[in-house]
Chain A
Amino acid sequence: MSAEPDGPEDRLRRFATIWSRAVFPVTSTSLTRPELEEQLLPLARRLSEALRARTFEADEARAVGAALIAVHCTDPEALSRTLDCVDAYLVLYCGGDGAQDQLRTRASRLQHAMAAGFATALRERTLAEQEAISSAALKAQGVVAQALHATEARFRAVFEGAAIGIGIADLEGNILQVNRAMVRMFGGAEQTVRTRNVLEWTHPEDAPQVWRLYEELVRGEREHYHVEKAFYRPDGTVLWTNLTVSLLRDADGNPQYQLALMEDTTERRLLNLRLRYEATHDALTGLPNRTLFFERLEKALTASDGQRFGLCYLDLDGFKTINDSLGHAAGDRLLVEVADRLQSCATAPGEMVARLGGDEFVALTTGPDTEREVDELAMRIMNALVAPVSVEGRELTVRGSIGIVEGPAGERSAAEVLRSADITMYRAKSAGGNRFEMADAEADARAITRHGLTTSLPTALDRGEFFIEYQPLVHLGDGSVRGAEALVRWLHPQHGVLGPDRFIPLAEHTGLIVPLGRWVLEQSVRQAREWRERYGVTGAGGPLRINVNLSPCQLTHPGLVQDTVDILERAGVEPDALCLEVTESALIGADDDLLKPLRRLAEMGVDIALDDFGTGYSNLANLRRLPVSILKLDRSFTQSMQRFPADSVDLKIVEGIVSLAHGLNLSVTVEGVETGAQAEQLRILGCDTAQGWYYARPGPPERLHELTLVDATG
């Protein structure tokens, strides 16, 4: 806007410039001074007009005062400078040619009204802004509170719903809050937990550091600790826990509360104790087992000078017979009774009885006087066995053989002591049983022990110490050789030739039976092939066949079928050249899983013979279910026929079995044929094949060659 120099418009602008220069330094506006001047110019115009108006208009001046607030001249100093400016320059620049006195009076009144207008507007603005910021604070607080409430609700849910016990107490130990899980651990009554003080929660089994850690924590010297701790529940039972206690501090870091997290380990602890008990005790008799016995023996053997030990190693005489004839259940009951009696023999401190397995028991005594005590202990044991044991209404006489080892601690290992005891027990047994023997170093060295055999068994196979003898199987009808039973022997470097009864049970026990059995099968099948090559597939009267014994352990071995197939295929021999003999007792109560491999072998053409038939108590109806094609009558049936005349009842029994077998399409083989009369008798009774000394003793494979020659020429 152009203005005539020194005209009214130019003078008005000069007033506005002066005004803006005066207030600009005390405003907080982000406008520049020239911009502020533009804002003030209309206000200056209104003042100028009000100055010269015919009547005084206070409202106009008030409005100008208020407008200063609108352009953010809120500092009181801005008002002061404005009024100074109006006082000094308004009349000068905007008064025109009016009466100076009147103008000055009017200017003064305008200033009063401007001040009032400024104050009113500032007060209103201040109140409005205070109200705005308060409501913003209130709203923000609401948002914060809502968020807090949500967080708190979430934490409360976690606290209440946690499976772990949570409790909060102050530093004096007063319990302030506990969750449901913790109440449950203590038996379910919240009051009884809440009203307690942490310090009352002592338990005799508290580890020594438990309360020291607690004191450190509440003193603020420790942030947390972790212990295993027991508590008494209100009902007196014990609660075992994994306890973690943490110190909670306030915002300034001062200790404020203690927080306990606890996990109920009562069940787990009981389970551990039970597992430990089960791991160290015999399930049948409840006596300590081999593990616990060895622990005690080791302890006794490493005891301080002057301490001695005495050990009685007991094996029941003829237990196997009882087990075989009366069954395992009866055998077990007998063992339980024997265990009870032994237990009552060793009640003094330092004495213990354990079951090592089967019918083997040990009694241990320790202390300085075991030389005398161990004899007495052995005597007590022998006496305890004198009274017959009543099992299933039968009175069974129990006898035992005891090997005694006694000596000072610190000389021998537990294994050496047990070996010596074992050897000594066998000496007692060989001497007729029902007695005890003292260990003797010389006798130990000589003894053929199960230990010795067991340890040399694995290398014996590698060293080729086993060999096989063959006993021919002869057809009773025409006397022709139909095959042979393979019988394994051990040519022991020290003890000479040992029969299968000496080492097969040991091989079964150690698992060596599987490789040994495989070796026997391989050798026998190879022999069968040789015979077949030499004499043709059939002998004079039928196919030549090799009979091989299978032990119970081999029966359950998962590789049985595959191994057998492999061996037959490698040798190039038809399955019908092989007959596997399985004892009747091994199949008593056999389930389908056990029979499956036999069935598969039978389906392939391998014959299965039921060995020692008539000694067990097999269910005859069960025969139908078994995949057998041959019954081998136990030698006990043929023994009675050696007398003349033969026992007529036995004859009837054999006749019955043969008739039953034939009815089921099974052939019958008899063992132990020693005389021609016997053979004739068995032939008349309908038996199919026989083996025994009458024909040939077990011998090298060449002997079969001689027999078949005889057979062929005879």
Chain B
Amino acid sequence: MERPAWAPRNIDISVPSVSRIYDFYLGGSHNFEVDREAARKAMEFLPGLPKIMQANRAFMRRAVRFAVAEGITQFLDIGSGIPTFGNVHEVAQEASPGAHVVYVDHDPVAVAHSQAVLKGKTGTDVVAADFRKPQEILAASQVRRLIDLNRPVALLLVAILHFVEDTDDPYEAVAELRDALAPGSLLILTHASYEGIPLPPEQTEGTVGVYKDIRNPLIMRSRDEIARFFEGYDMVEPGLVAMPHWRPDTAPEDEDPYAFSGFAGVGRTA
């Protein structure tokens, strides 16, 4: 593969990155040809992938606004990826100017880009850490500086858990994070699933295969399996539903059929 002249030397751009693929789906240009190639391949099976991502962003935006309305001003966004329009801090600080937001990602390029984007933005920071090591996240100096764990926090796990295999025990990690949160905290979560996709599962498997090929397997979970992540939380109305059905601003019927793929929900700690 040709290495574009503008790409830095000595970095392995032959490996696609999940967060840069996500950026491509959202119409961004924070990506390299390998990322776009993988994205296009996945879209051969699931042409509506960008719509699913867009629905994720829209849900996240509604959920963040909901959190602010609930009085929450601290946000911990794990698996934040490449910052693009409608970032959590933009949404949160628009609704509550003093809100604090800490982004967490394990992709060094995403972290470096986040640092550049967040430079000079008060109340925000980014941590290079892995969701699978929650204690490292909680102990990070950025988290300790901006987030008071004695007060409610909105924990965002948007479009991340379907990249964590069962062997890495995502349920345990989610529980560890939950145990660190003060009562009244919110878990804002979306997850991919075969349920709700307007295509037969055989076709969707092609997309799963693409992510497997780039060594970032996509784990499709059932609704029940996804609901288990909310153990210890009380579900906020309307519960675990397709993204357009979660507290919509506009009629869900107007949404693209792909937007109904997978599940979204918000839980509150007792």
Q: Which residues of A contact B (CB under 8 A)?
A: 25, 27-35, 72, 74-75, 125-126, 129-141, 143-145
A residues near B82, Cβ cutoff 8 Å: 133
Whether the pair A141, B10 counts as a contact (CB closer than 8 A) is yes
Chain A residues positioned under 8 Å from B6 (CB to CB)? 130-131, 134
Cross-chain contact of B57 among A30, A33, A129, A139 (Cβ < 8 A) = A30
1/0 contact string of B167-178 vs chain A (CB within 8 Å): 000000000000
Across the interface, name the chain B residue whose C-beta is closest to A133: B30
Most buried by B among A30, A130, A134: A30
B256 touches A25 (CB 8 A): yes
Q: Is B28 an interface residue (CB 8 A)?
A: yes
A27 to B20, CA, bound (A): 18
Residue B46 interfacial (CB < 8 Å): no
B1-43 contact mask (Cβ, 8 Å, vs A): 1 or 0: 0000011101101000000100001111111100000000000
Question: Is B61 an interface residue when CB atoms closer than 8 A count as contact?
Answer: yes
B-side contacts of A133, CB under 8 Å = 20, 29-32, 82, 109, 113
- In the bound complex, residues from chain A placing their C-beta under 8 Å from that of B256 are 25
- When distances are taken between beta carbons in the complex, the residues of chain B under 8 Å from A141 are 8, 10-11, 108
Mind listing 11 A-B residue pairs with CB under 8 Å? Answer: A28-B57, A32-B58, A74-B27, A74-B28, A131-B6, A132-B116, A132-B117, A133-B20, A133-B29, A135-B112, A143-B108
Complex formed: what's the CA distance from A31 to B62 in Å?
10
B28-A136 in contact (CB<8A): no
Contact residues on B (Cβ < 8 Å of other chain), bracket: 35 or more
On whether the beta carbons of B27 and A28 are closer than 8 Å, the reply is: yes
Q: How far is the CB of A393 from chain B (nearest CB, A)?
A: 87
Contact of B54 with A by CB under 8 A: yes
* Separation of A301 and B12 alpha carbons in the complex (Å): 77
Q: Residue among A27, A129, A131 with the most chain B CB within 10 A? A: A129
Query: Nearest-CB distance from B257 to chain A (Å)?
Result: 11
A137–B10 Cα distance when bound, in Å, is 10
Which residues from A are CB-within-8-Å of B54?
27-30
Q: B158 → chain A, closest Cβ, in Å?
A: 11
Which residue of A has the minimal Cβ distance to B114?
A: A136
Given contacts A28-B50, A131-B6, A133-B109, contact A34 B250 (CB under 8 A): yes
Given A28-B53, A29-B54, A30-B60, is A139 in contact with B112 using a C-beta cutoff of 8 Å? yes
Assembly CA distance A27 to B27 (angstroms): 8
Chain A: CB-nearest residue to B58? A30
- A117–B176 Cα gap in the complex (Å)? 51
The answer on a CB contact under 8 Å between B113 and A132 is yes
By a beta-carbon cutoff of 8 Å, the part of chain B in contact with chain A is 6-8, 10-11, 13, 20, 25-32, 50, 53-54, 57-58, 60-61, 82, 85-86, 108-113, 115-117, 249-250, 254, 256
Please name all residues of chain B whose beta carbon is closer than 8 Å to the beta carbon of A145 when the two chains form the complex: 10
If A30-B86, A34-B250 are given as contacts, then 4 extra A-B residue pairs at C-beta distance below 8 Å, sorted by A number, are: A74-B27, A138-B11, A141-B8, A141-B108
A residues near B31, Cβ cutoff 8 Å: 133
* Assembled-state Cα–Cα distance A136/B249 (Å): 35
Q: B146 → chain A, closest Cβ, in Å?
A: 21
Q: How far is A75 from B86 in the complex, measured between Cα atoms in Å?
A: 17
Docked-complex contact A32 and B250, CB < 8 angstroms: yes
- Is B85's CB under 8 angstroms from A30's CB? yes
Contacts of B116 in A (CB 8 A): 132, 135-136, 139
- A30 cross-chain contacts in B, Cβ below 8 A: 54, 57-58, 60-61, 85-86
- Beyond A130-B6, A133-B82, whether A140 also contacts B254 by CB under 8 A is no
Specify which of A31, A75, A138 is in contact with B8 (CB 8 Å cutoff).
A138
In the complex formed, the residue of A with least CB distance to B10 is A141
Q: Within the complex, what minimum Cβ distance (angstroms) separates B67 from chain A?
A: 16
How many angstroms between the C-alpha atoms of A352 and B31 in the bound complex?
Answer: 88
Q: CA A35 – CA B108 in complex, angstroms?
A: 34
Cα separation A126 to B110 with both chains bound (whole Å): 17
Q: Are A140's CB and B85's CB within 8 A?
A: no
What are the nearest 7 A-B pairs in CB distance?
A136-B113, A140-B108, A30-B57, A138-B8, A129-B29, A136-B112, A133-B30
A200 to B85 Cα, complex, angstroms = 66
**Closest B residue, CB atoms, query A143:** B108
Determine the distance from Cα of A532 to Cα of B213 in the docked complex, in whole angstroms.
109
Chain B contacts of A126 at CB under 8 A? Answer: 29
CA distance A139 to B110 in the complex (A): 11
Most buried by B among A33, A135, A141: A141
Q: How far is the CA of A143 from the CA of B111 in the complex (A)?
A: 11
Q: CA separation between A619 and B198, bound complex, in Å? A: 117
Identify which of B13, B28, B60 contacts A129 (C-beta below 8 A).
B28
Q: Does A32 lie within 8 Å of B249, measured CB to CB?
A: yes
**Once the chains bind, are B11 and A137 in contact (CB under 8 Å)?**
yes
- Interface-centre pick from A28, A74, A137, A145 (highest chain B CB count, 10 A): A137
Which of chain A's residues has its CB closest to B250's CB? A32
A126 to B28, CA, bound (A): 8
User: A146 → chain B, closest Cβ, in Å?
Assistant: 11
- For the complex, give the distance between the alpha carbons of A28 and B29 in Å: 13
A138 to B10, CA, bound (A): 9
In the bound assembly, the distance between CA atoms of A154 and B87 in angstroms comes to: 40
> Are A140 and B250 neighbours in the complex by a CB distance under 8 Å?
no
- Closest-by-CB residue of B relative to A33 is B250
CA distance A505 to B234 in the complex (A): 94
Residues of chain B within 8 A (CB-CB) of A28 are: 25-27, 50, 53-54, 57
Q: In the bound complex, do residue B27 and residue A132 qualify as a contact, i.e. CB atoms below 8 Å apart?
A: no
Report how far A145 CA is from B112 CA in the complex, Å.
14
Minimum CB–CB distance from B25 to chain A (whole Å) comes to 7
User: In the complex, what's the smallest C-beta–C-beta distance from A679 to chain B, in angstroms?
Assistant: 102
- Shortest distance in angstroms between A430's beta carbon and chain B's nearest beta carbon? 89
| CB atoms of B250 and A137 under 8 A apart | no
CB distance from A73 to the nearest CB of B (A): 8
Residues of B near A29 (CB, < 8 A) are 54, 85-86
Q: Is the CB of B109 within 8 A of A137?
A: yes
A70 to B254, CA, bound (A): 24
* Min distance, Cβ B217 to any Cβ of chain A, angstroms: 18
- The distance from the CB of A151 to the nearest CB of chain B, in whole angstroms, is 15
Q: Chain A: which residue is nearest B256 at the CB level?
A: A25
- Among B6, B10, B27, B54, the one with the most A-chain Cβ atoms within 10 Å of its Cβ is B27
Among B32, B108, B116: residue with most chain A CB under 10 A: B108
State whether A132 and B86 are in contact (beta carbons under 8 Å apart), knowing that A25-B256, A141-B10 are contacts in the complex. no
> Shortest distance in angstroms between A141's beta carbon and chain B's nearest beta carbon?
4
CB-based nearest A residue for B110: A136
Q: Which residues of B contact A135 (CB under 8 A)?
A: 8, 112, 116
| Complex-state Cα separation, A559 to B269, whole angstroms | 77
Measured CA separation A81–B86 after assembly (Å): 24
Q: What residues of B have a CB within 8 angstroms of the CB of A25 in the complex? A: 256
B86: A residues at CB distance < 8 A: 29-31
A466 to chain B, nearest CB (A): 79
B116 to chain A, nearest CB (A): 6
- Complex contact A140–B7 (CB within 8 A): no
Residues in B with CB closer than 8 Å to A72 are 27, 85
Q: Chain A residues near B108: list those with CB within 8 A.
A: 140-141, 143-144
Contact between A140 and B50, CB atoms less than 8 A apart = no
Q: In the complex, what's the smallest C-beta–C-beta distance from A445 to chain B, in angstroms?
A: 82
Known pairs A30-B58, A33-B254, A74-B27; A137 contacts B8 (CB<8 A)? yes
Contact B7 A134, beta carbon cutoff 8 Å:
yes
